[in-house]
Structure 1
Amino acid sequence: MMNNGLFFLLFSCQVRDWYLDSFRDLRSFHDIKDKSDELEFTQMIKMIKVRHNNVVPMMALGVQQLKKDLDAKINYKDLDEIQQFLDRFYMSRIGIRMLIGQHVALRDPSPLPDCIGYIHTKMSPVEVARNASEDARSICLREYGSAPDVNIYGDPNFTFPYVPAHLHLMVFELVKNSLRAVQEKFMDSDKVAPPIRIVVADGLEDVTIKVSDEGGGIPRSGLPKIFTYLYSTAKNPLDEHSAIDLGTVTTMAGYGYGLPISRLYAKYFGGDLQIISMEGYGTDAYLHLSRLGDSQEPLP
């Protein structure tokens, strides 16, 4: 237990130091009296946002080190305190980065068309899903040398107000999981790997995006664990790499934060993420995005 506590402490201390530095920067900043001061403040919080880019992989590595050094059989019910802390921590981070990003984007001298800061008033979920799928397939190609196709169904002309960066992250994680499952199931098979299917549905209350695969599914015993940070069906990345560069930390799987953080992003704007699986066949992920605009920020 000494090793896992030590490694987790080292990762946590690095993240704590980043937050302390940012807090000091904010506290020591002088009063804003004119436009020049405001521009200087904007640059300062922009640098703070960059400083914290690697918080999630850093924390994830700490958690995976903890998992690696714990006993082989983990009682996930006994780890509720870690789960609740990480949920609160990551939700706070989403809110902070949303505020900083919105402030910085509103002061962009060359704003994107139809955008109000971070919010795209005419975002096409089909287009975002296509871009996220292409990014996920490129990771899969790099990892395995090939990647299943991704078929997207929906009206590309349908738009609604949302944050494209948030949706891209969520769809990217879901498609990445599906690609890995299908690729690993059919890697040594003579059969052609079936495509991942993405369906975008325009509802009155929600825009729902379904990501379906035929990657073999998840055992029913594993479903309660998929939104916990200590669970992953992939190998622990710390078993694969003795030294990991946080700048290139994106891999197919293994860090255990893709699904739980994607659900937090969905919940931030009043949505949700649900997973339904058929062991022996495949998995359907339902990403619900609220379009009512009546949800409050879910502060922890």
Structure 2
Amino acid sequence: MAAKKLYKSFSNLKSLMEEVHRWGCMKQTGVSLRYMMEFGSKPTDRNLLISAQFLHKELPIRIARRAIELETLPYGLSEKPAVLKVRDWYLDSFRDMRSFPEIKDSSDEREFTQMIKAIKVRHNNVVPMMALGVQQLKKGMNPKIVYEDLDEIHQFLDRFYMSRIGIRMLIGQHVELHNTNPPHCVGCIDTKMSPMEVARNASEDARSICFWEYGSAPDVNIYGDPNFTFPYVPSHLQLMVFELVKNSLRAVEERFLDSDKVAPPIRIIVADGLEDVTIKVSDEGGGIPRSGLPKIFTYLYSTAKSPLDENLDLDSTDAVTMAGYGCGLPISRLYARYFGGDLQIISMEGYGTDAYLHLSRLGDSQEPLP
């Protein structure tokens, strides 16, 4: 009943936006990988209740901040149909969160968990939809504009996607604590994750897409200690390594397409230091000219033809292509930075590219909240 009453009070957009602005001014609370791991190691009813109560207050603040930013983007980006759709998803999720009554017992907590699960699904296609919005913006722009100059848009997208990573991590972690996981997993976190194994799986996925697109795929050789493990979120590492290997495969494949030579393999080296685990992905795909390096971490740049089509039904698709959204690398760097790591690209034009993915072993850095 309480939920219905609140829902009615938001029935007009004006009162909803006032509420969004009120929550958007509140302070966000960051958590660390170590905290999530320690807290989630005992998923008792009481702990799940505390977690749900925290999310009940924290998620509307984070969602409100993004909804406000989506309203006020430069160069008319806020008016693009795809961006309006994303904004509506955020407003719907904010309304759902604020319409949910106080969480008092396990029954409330279970209901709340189902709701945030649905919110996570609602936002599944935010990245391609925002990429489509950026494309709609580019279409109407003066071609002489240098995309790196559109700093405000890049900074907004960095904040926006970093916040999205955090929201999805918090929801995913809470939902996953309800499931039966292997003993060394705490929600989404694998306390004994093998970076070699994740790199192998990500490479196989990237190679199968390369096969599908080009009819062949270079080998990927992985070097490192197969017994080494450390606590991390495997799905995050999978996404980053997949992106790096996919880029390398494409570069090598296109460089050796009409050549008699055998395409050289991609090399992945996993090194475990005291502070960082570093994964290096090296290719001989011809490299990137120095003038092109600043562009690779911008959201408005891709050397590939875009797979995004104005008429694409993004509510149903989850297609993965070799390239073209123009946001794989910058988003991978955000995933690395989310838990205190980083991503660097060093290239030799005429030879190849090395990507260095640094992951913090310590797990004690707070979420970098935008």
Smaller-chain TM-score bracket: over 0.9
- Aligned residue for 1:133? 203
Q: Which whole-Å deviations, capped at 9, do the CAs of 1:247-279 have from their partners, x for residues lacking one?
A: 133111111100000000000000000000001
Q: Which one of 355, 358, 362 corresponds to residue 285 of structure 1?
A: 355
C-alpha contact (below 8 Å) 2:339/2:366 kept by paired residues: yes
C-alpha contact (below 8 Å) 2:285/2:351 kept by paired residues: yes
Q: Which one of 252, 268, 279 corresponds to residue 209 of structure 1?
A: 279
C-alpha contact (below 8 Å) 2:80/2:137 kept by paired residues: no
Report the Cα offset of residue 213 of structure 1.
0.6
Cα distance in 2 for partners of 1:280, 1:213 equals 12
Establish whether residue 51 from structure 1 lines up as the match of residue 119 from structure 2: no
Q: How does 1:14-25 map to 2 (within 5 A)?
A: 14-25=85-96
One-letter identity of the residue aligned with 1:244: L
Q: Which one of 155, 174, 183 corresponds to residue 253 of structure 2?
A: 183
- 2:173 counterpart SS class: helix
- Aligned residue for 2:141? 70
Q: Which one of 203, 213, 222 corresponds to residue 292 of structure 2?
A: 222
Q: How does 1:1-300 map to 2 (within 5 A)?
A: 5=76, 9-108=80-179, 110-238=180-308, 241=309, 243-246=311-314, 247-300=317-370
Q: Name the stretch that deviates more: 93-102 or 136-145.
A: 136-145
Q: Which whole-Å deviations, capped at 9, do the CAs of 1:105-140 have from their partners, x for residues lacking one?
A: 1111x1233011111100000000011111111111
Cα distance in 2 for partners of 1:199, 1:101 equals 29
- 2:297 counterpart SS class: coil
Report the Cα offset of residue 6 of structure 1.
7.9
C-alpha contact (below 8 Å) 1:7/1:65 kept by paired residues: no
Q: Which whole-Å deviations, capped at 9, do the CAs of 1:167-188 have from their partners, x for residues lacking one?
A: 0000010001001101111111
Judged with a 3 Å threshold, the aligned counterparts in structure 2 of structure 1 residues 126 and 15 are, in CA distance, closer, same or farther, namely: same
Q: Which whole-Å deviations, capped at 9, do the CAs of 1:155-208 have from their partners, x for residues lacking one?
A: 111000000010000001000100110111111111111111100001111000
TM-score, length-normalised on structure 2?
0.76
- List gaps (5 residues or longer) in structure 2: 1-74
C-alpha contact (below 8 Å) 1:208/1:288 kept by paired residues: yes
Cα distance in 1 for partners of 2:310, 2:146 equals 27
Cα distance in 2 for partners of 1:210, 1:25 equals 42
- 1:221 counterpart SS class: helix
Count of aligned residue pairs for this structure pair? 294
Q: Name the stretch that deviates more: 60-69 or 136-145.
A: 60-69
- List gaps (5 residues or longer) in structure 1: none
- 1:222 counterpart SS class: helix
Cα distance in 2 for partners of 1:223, 1:237 equals 23
Higher-Rg structure is 2
The percent of aligned pairs where both chains have the same amino acid is: 82
One-letter identity of the residue aligned with 1:227: F
- Aligned residue for 2:18? none
Judged with a 3 Å threshold, the aligned counterparts in structure 2 of structure 1 residues 20 and 200 are, in CA distance, closer, same or farther, namely: same
Cα distance in 2 for partners of 1:68, 1:280 equals 32
